[in-house]
Structure 1
Amino acid sequence: MTNRMGGPVMRASIYVRISMDLTGEELGVARQEEECRKLCKQLGFEVGRIFTDNDLSATKKTVVRPDFEAMLASKPEVIVCWHTDRLIRVTRDLERVIDIGVNVHAVMAGHLDLSTPAGRAVARTVTAWATYEGEQKAERQKLANLQAARAGKPYTAGIRPFGYADDHVTILPDEAEAIREGAAMILTGESLSAVARRWTEAGRLSPRGIAAGGKAWTLRGVKQVLTSPRYVGQATYRGEVMGKGAWPAILDADVHYGAVAILNNPERFSGGKRTGRTPQTLLTGIGLCGVCGETGSGRGYRGVPVYGCADTHTRTPRSIADKRATTATLARMVWPDFLPSVLGSGQSASASDTAHLHAEAQALRERLDGLAMAYAEGAINLSQMTAGSEALRNKLERIESQIVNVAGIPPFDPVAGIAGLIEGWADTPLPTRRAWVDFCVEVTFLPAKGKHARLMTPDDHVKIEWRDLAANED
């Protein structure tokens, strides 16, 4: 086959690209391809392979253009593109095209003759100016984005954020409720995967997930939502909080920063304690080590759940300690002097759930520590730590103020009374059971007795003593 000039027909590789495809319909690259085919016909080229990089930047070093790489590897006879900046935006890519010794024809920019020194010099000059303009445009855009963030305006260039409508301001009630539920799950010790499953199973998919055909939530996606300052109404620029945004908040500040402290705490990823979780065992922080006097916590030893202090002086089987502490607590409640002593204190236990307040206060203290650790490790920046610490401290002050003013005995249903508490003990929330155990008994974990540890009786593992109710009242 020959062209109009009687020479052999060149087989052209068409390359099309756009940096951002907001609709995902690839209309931009389709229009480019149509124009490139027309140019091929005018020049007498046979259309060969079509290489398409849709929704990909040509200036970022971290972005790989798969079809650009494939085109270079295919050793094309000639390249046709809509504009040279669709093919090459930076000098490093131009040099790679020069190295394969191929000429470039562009619909909007003419012919780049890379076979001669003069042509290569022109190409390098054009590309240098394209790189300059790209960098200038980026700087202008950064400045505009910074000014918008300082003014509290939403960044609307990308896809809408989960929880807000297309204007990035109007709250979508169903999605907002999912965000609140997810944050509450994290604060109660549940995992990101549990939140991701909950949102996916409920059909509350992310906008990107919907655009991708119903893609499920990823752990990274859930974390980005629950740790973004946007959801407490904060405008940010490159991760730094700039001030109040012009959109309503979905999460309360203490809830949001509590989740941030938990999800960004380095210990979460290193096998350490899960900061922010309330105690998950009956006697953690209540039972004392019989050697050093420090409080014990739940852990495992050779596959057996045990209680022990930080220095592991004791390894008291959890099942034995929990059973004995529960039995002693219930026995104390049915003793004849118990009810008159409690009711005679003149305090109303139903005024507030003190166990819940103490647990919440402890969780807030741990989240404050978690924020500090996350900042030290670089997981969050100074503005996030400052804003988060202020929100959590304000909440902690309110909780501690409540604790000072409530009854000095743990909660119980004033209608069902102590008898109802005893009867429904197994179904009573753990914080309430912990509060009553701590109110009624003193628990001491005892060390194992050498090689005869397997022969130890329950009394050898743990020591239980009733507390003096008069001392509690004081």
Structure 2
Amino acid sequence: MNVTIYARLSLDQHGDELGVQRQEEECRAFAAARGWTVREVIADNDISATSGKVRPGFERLLVSKPDAILCWHTDRLIRKTEDLERVIALGVNVHAIHAGHLDLSTPAGRAVARTVTAWATYEGEQKALRQKASNLQAAKAGLPHRAGIRPFGYADDFVTVVEEEAEAIRKGAEMILQGETLAAVARLWTGLGLLAPRSSSGKAKGEANGWGVGGVKKVLISPRYIAQATYHGEIVAEGSWPAILDEATHYALVAALTNPKRFTGGARTGSAPQTLLAGLATCSKCGEAVRGGMYRGTPVYRCGQKHVRVPRELADKRAGNAVLARLAFPDLLGQILAAQGSQADDSAALHNEAKTLRERMDGLAVAYASGHITLSQMTAGTEAIRERLEEVESKLSGITGLPPVDPVTGLAGLIESWPDSPLPIRRAWVKFLLSIEMHPNGYKKAKNMTVDDYMTVGWHHVEEE
């Protein structure tokens, strides 16, 4: 007799398919002992038979017209009555190593099969209810949800912090709150080799997929990282594991990343610049602002009319050196301080309003953490306050046009950390200090062009602003 072996495993935590391999080995031994010929082996790995998801292997089994089906147990093949009816329609018998023989060729055999499947369905539903109750109880006790693969940032016990991953989470949070994109954080984590546990499970490091923006966002807004136990997305208790982020940072991330104005699909309405000089430098021929692009495999800046194609690496280095040179001038700090002092009378009310708005946002975060408001209320309230705060800060910046300066490290700290400073900060200083024009190549070959052929850089002076 020819048989088709069907194997299935609901959850493969390590992605190694060892569970279905063990089922196949036992089925082959069972068939060999009876002199049966194995025609084909079909498997569904890491797929539940009760979740409602399509099982590709099961569908292929049904269309393969098997002479007979051999499985490790009948619950590997069928867990729902509708699946049984589809198998019955094949008109073949089912042999199970640990559940006997289902004779689907007779009315009595089909009745037995339907009864067995009905009880299997009942037990599956009861198990689901028990599991839900157990999960809720564990969450209310502040215990981590341990189903599946470990979360990023924590070890296999779901409690011990993996410091290298935790530091990457903190750095990612800092980047988002400084205006960087989710894609930038994804590139950082992938570049560090700190892959999502599920993406790297069962694969060699070089074979694993990198982070996507969806995965990064899911991590950064998860209450797990402030040690909050949740059930179906609702916070139900303080967690019994160490936090990686503080609550203020977490709720600031939630407010930023759940902002409905943030691009999440559909028509793009604008995005944060991804290059240092896009939108800041201009073309000397047409006056249009340049943007990032590619030319023959090289990243360049170019205008819409394609008058200029300036190598991006060369332009960024030239602009960065010009900023650092201007920052090093001893007169600059005095001029900045004078400008800041001259705006005191005009901006005192705005500073007070900005302080009040920030305190209100902090109050929303505390209210949500205490369970007094829902996440949607906190997000909506934060968004309304943030819009007003952005207006106030825009007015403050407009008085002197000054980018932010760290009050502790000052200009010296900015110079020292320039290469690693977030892109929005570096762009702000380029805009404040420099005027940049980029030039057509004048039909010169690239190897004969100097940096001055490509671009002209001028300094703004504070007293002239």
**Structure 1 residue 149 and structure 2 residue 139: aligned?**
yes
Q: Which amino acid aligns with 1:104?
A: V
In 1, Cα distance between equivalents of 2:39 and 2:336: 92
TM-score, normalising length from structure 2? 0.62
Q: 2:31 aligns with which of 29, 35, 40?
A: 40
Matched residue SS, 1:158: coil
Q: Which amino acid aligns with 2:4?
A: S
Whether the 8 Å contact between 1:233 and 1:246 is mirrored in structure 2 is yes
Comparing 79-88 with 251-260, greater Cα deviation is found at 251-260
Counterpart of 2:86? 96
Whether the 8 Å contact between 1:257 and 1:392 is mirrored in structure 2 is no
Counterpart of 1:201? 191
**Per-residue deviation, 1:24:** 2.6
Matched residue SS, 1:147: helix
User: 1:24-80: CA deviations, max 9, x gaps?
Assistant: 33222222222212322344321110111122111111x221111111111000000
**Structure 1 residue 164 and structure 2 residue 154: aligned?**
yes
Whether the 8 Å contact between 2:20 and 2:45 is mirrored in structure 1 is yes
**Per-residue deviation, 1:389:** 8.0
**Per-residue deviation, 1:266:** 2.3
Whether the 8 Å contact between 2:153 and 2:163 is mirrored in structure 1 is yes
Within-5 A mapping of 1:313-332:
none
Q: 1:139 aligns with which of 129, 143, 147?
A: 129
**Per-residue deviation, 1:22:** 2.3
Q: 1:58 aligns with which of 49, 55, 60?
A: 49
Matched residue SS, 1:85: helix
In 2, Cα distance between equivalents of 1:99 and 1:165: 48
The unaligned stretches of length 5 or more in structure 2 are 280-286, 290-330, 366-372, 388-398, 412-420, 434-463
Counterpart of 1:17? 8
The structure number with the bigger radius of gyration is 1
Q: Which amino acid aligns with 1:47?
A: V
In 1, Cα distance between equivalents of 2:97 and 2:247: 54
Whether the 8 Å contact between 2:153 and 2:166 is mirrored in structure 1 is yes
Whether the 8 Å contact between 2:226 and 2:246 is mirrored in structure 1 is yes
In 2, Cα distance between equivalents of 1:155 and 1:123: 36
In 2, Cα distance between equivalents of 1:189 and 1:167: 34
Whether the 8 Å contact between 2:153 and 2:169 is mirrored in structure 1 is yes
**Structure 1 residue 217 and structure 2 residue 208: aligned?**
no
**Per-residue deviation, 1:387:** 6.4
Q: Cα distance 1:107–1:361, how it changes in 2: closer, same or farther (>3 A)?
A: farther
Q: 1:234 aligns with which of 228, 238, 255?
A: 228
In 1, Cα distance between equivalents of 2:199 and 2:92: 40
The unaligned stretches of length 5 or more in structure 1 are 1-9, 283-302, 306-333, 348-353, 371-381, 397-407, 419-426, 437-465, 468-474
In 2, Cα distance between equivalents of 1:134 and 1:207: 28
In 2, Cα distance between equivalents of 1:366 and 1:48: 66
Within-5 A mapping of 1:157-196:
157-196=147-186
Q: Which amino acid aligns with 1:129?
A: W
**Structure 1 residue 384 and structure 2 residue 375: aligned?**
yes
**Per-residue deviation, 1:138:** 0.6
**Structure 1 residue 248 and structure 2 residue 238: aligned?**
no
In 2, Cα distance between equivalents of 1:108 and 1:341: 85
In 2, Cα distance between equivalents of 1:216 and 1:433: 32
Matched residue SS, 1:157: coil
Q: Cα distance 1:255–1:355, how it changes in 2: closer, same or farther (>3 A)?
A: farther
**Per-residue deviation, 1:433:** 11
Whether the 8 Å contact between 1:261 and 1:368 is mirrored in structure 2 is no
Q: Cα distance 1:431–1:196, how it changes in 2: closer, same or farther (>3 A)?
A: closer
**Per-residue deviation, 1:82:** 0.9
**Per-residue deviation, 1:242:** 1.1
Q: Which amino acid aligns with 2:258?
A: N
Matched residue SS, 1:22: coil
Q: Once the two structures are aligned, what percentage of the paired residues are identical? A: 53
In 1, Cα distance between equivalents of 2:381 and 2:142: 20
Q: Which amino acid aligns with 2:254?
A: V
User: 1:2-36: CA deviations, max 9, x gaps?
Assistant: xxxxxxxx210011111112233322222222221
Q: Cα distance 1:46–1:271, how it changes in 2: closer, same or farther (>3 A)?
A: closer
Q: Cα distance 1:168–1:220, how it changes in 2: closer, same or farther (>3 A)?
A: same
**Structure 1 residue 265 and structure 2 residue 259: aligned?**
yes
Q: Which amino acid aligns with 2:83?
A: D
Whether the 8 Å contact between 2:259 and 2:383 is mirrored in structure 1 is no
Whether the 8 Å contact between 1:209 and 1:215 is mirrored in structure 2 is yes
Matched residue SS, 1:28: helix
Q: Cα distance 1:14–1:368, how it changes in 2: closer, same or farther (>3 A)?
A: farther
In 1, Cα distance between equivalents of 2:136 and 2:5: 38
**Per-residue deviation, 1:340:** 12
Q: Cα distance 1:391–1:255, how it changes in 2: closer, same or farther (>3 A)?
A: farther
Q: Cα distance 1:23–1:143, how it changes in 2: closer, same or farther (>3 A)?
A: same
In 1, Cα distance between equivalents of 2:56 and 2:171: 40
Q: Cα distance 1:341–1:152, how it changes in 2: closer, same or farther (>3 A)?
A: closer
Matched residue SS, 1:266: coil
Q: How many residues align?
A: 345
In 1, Cα distance between equivalents of 2:128 and 2:117: 16
In 1, Cα distance between equivalents of 2:2 and 2:59: 18
Q: Cα distance 1:258–1:304, how it changes in 2: closer, same or farther (>3 A)?
A: farther
Q: 1:74 aligns with which of 61, 64, 87?
A: 64
Q: Which amino acid aligns with 1:234?
A: Q
Matched residue SS, 1:138: helix
Whether the 8 Å contact between 2:229 and 2:239 is mirrored in structure 1 is yes
**Per-residue deviation, 1:190:** 1.6
Q: Cα distance 1:369–1:250, how it changes in 2: closer, same or farther (>3 A)?
A: closer
In 1, Cα distance between equivalents of 2:337 and 2:27: 93
**Per-residue deviation, 1:219:** 1.7
Matched residue SS, 2:123: helix
Counterpart of 1:119? 109
In 2, Cα distance between equivalents of 1:32 and 1:20: 14
Counterpart of 1:323? none
CA RMSD of aligned residues (A): 5.0
Q: Which amino acid aligns with 2:103?
A: D
In 2, Cα distance between equivalents of 1:106 and 1:33: 12
Matched residue SS, 2:98: coil
**Per-residue deviation, 1:116:** 1.1
Whether the 8 Å contact between 1:262 and 1:367 is mirrored in structure 2 is no
Q: Cα distance 1:160–1:44, how it changes in 2: closer, same or farther (>3 A)?
A: same
In 2, Cα distance between equivalents of 1:369 and 1:86: 50
In 2, Cα distance between equivalents of 1:238 and 1:339: 51
Q: Cα distance 1:216–1:15, how it changes in 2: closer, same or farther (>3 A)?
A: same
